[in-house]
Amino acid sequence: MLGSLLDTVMDRTIAPGYTSIGYRVRHRVAGWDDALPRLEGRTVLVTGVTSGIGRAAAERFAQLGARVLLVARDAGRGARARAELVAATGNEDLHVELCDLSSLASVRALAGRLEGTPLHVVVHNAGLLPAERRVTEDGIEVAFATNVLGPFLLTALTEQTLRASAPARVIWVSSGGMYSQRVATSDLQAEGLADDWDGTVVYARTKRAQVILAELWAERLAGSGVVVHAMHPGWVATPGVKDSLPRFEKVVRPLLRTPYEGADTIVWLGAADEPARSSGGFWHDRRARPTHLLPSTRETDEQRRALWDACVELSGAPV
């Protein structure tokens, strides 16, 4: 009871809960079982494995004995990550899959190569916070393309494989920043912010969209044995944070989580028994969390549907 109250207070007051302190207090007070179920015979796909949270998650999945598909957009960085992960874990069943998540053609090519491969866990981790408005080769704003549209298309193109591989899990790595924003269905590609760019707002909107899409995929896959969850890792010391939020990183540096601490709930969602018993949750530090802290961020059913329809239309997903 005390543990639960402390956990909730840390969560709602943001700073204590999102830092390494929050992770360590919860780990100790809740008495987390560090020994997660083994994953031999399971195939886990993780995007964004070349640094930060994705790399740490891939390492933990490899330690649990999974076959891990390491999705990276650069062959050299992917090969280096694989070599380091094999050396760290002794698991040689790790395979680099090249894909630029911001490119619809690249996502389609990856899905094509995956046909016939069972998929038990898919982790949509790759992401970015854009310093300026850029569009991809498909003409899509790059944060929306990478954080939302690419993962949406990959989920759609692997849906039948996931169903056939069930029990299976899809995990969207969102951000606590999403609490600050409502989904921007009338401006998903941030054209309205082009002249007054705020990357953190654009990023947070994509992270809000991820949480809604996880819920909608969970509804679509209900009863299939494929569960879908979103999570946020807290504030984690990664190259991404250092590059895109240098001032924030400097102030909170001593309190930032390690990538392993940030990845913990991803691996728990992918391996533990409890997350398989529900779907459509939003998690942080192994506990379901609210998806809204402010009434102003709540979206309507029409906006949820509009987000889904826009993703289908822009990606050409077969759903």
Ligand X SMILES: NC(=O)c1ccc[n+]([C@@H]2O[C@H](COP(=O)([O-])OP(=O)(O)OC[C@H]3O[C@@H](n4cnc5c(N)ncnc54)[C@H](OP(=O)(O)O)[C@@H]3O)[C@@H](O)[C@H]2O)c1
Active site residues: 203
Site string for ligand X, 155-184 (x = CB under 6 A): ------------------x-x---------
Q: Judged by CB under 6 A, does residue 236 bind ligand X? A: yes
Q: Judged by CB under 6 A, does residue 126 bind ligand X? A: yes
Taking the C-alpha atoms of residue 184 and residue 182, their distance in angstroms, rounded to an integer, is 6
Give the interface segment with ligand X, choosing from 97-105, 108-116, 179-187, 280-288 (CB under 6 A).
97-105
- What values do phi and psi take at 232, rounded to 5? -130, 145
- For ligand X, the binding residue among 33, 74, 115, 137 (CB under 6 A) is 74
Beta-carbon contacts of 70 under 8 Å, excluding residues fewer than 6 positions away, are: 46, 49, 58, 78, 81, 82, 85, 94, 95, 96, 97
The tokens for 101 are 């998540």
Q: Indicate the DSSP class of residue 148.
A: I
Give the interface segment with ligand X, choosing from 7-15, 155-163, 194-202, 234-242 (CB under 6 A).
234-242
Q: Which residue is nearest to ligand X (CB)?
A: 52
The tokens for 212 are 């809604």
By beta-carbon proximity to ligand X, the closer residue of 224 and 258 is 258
Taking the C-alpha atoms of residue 117 and residue 114, their distance in angstroms, rounded to an integer, is 5
Site size for ligand X (CB under 6 A): 29
Q: Judged by CB under 6 A, does residue 238 bind ligand X? A: yes
Q: What is the chain's alpha carbon radius of gyration, rounded to the nearest angstrom? A: 18
To which H or E segment does residue 228 belong? strand 226-231
Q: Judged by CB under 6 A, does residue 240 bind ligand X? A: yes
To which H or E segment does residue 98 belong? strand 94-98
Site residues, ligand X (CB under 6 A): 47-54, 73-74, 77, 100-102, 125-128, 146, 173, 175, 232-233, 235-236, 238-241
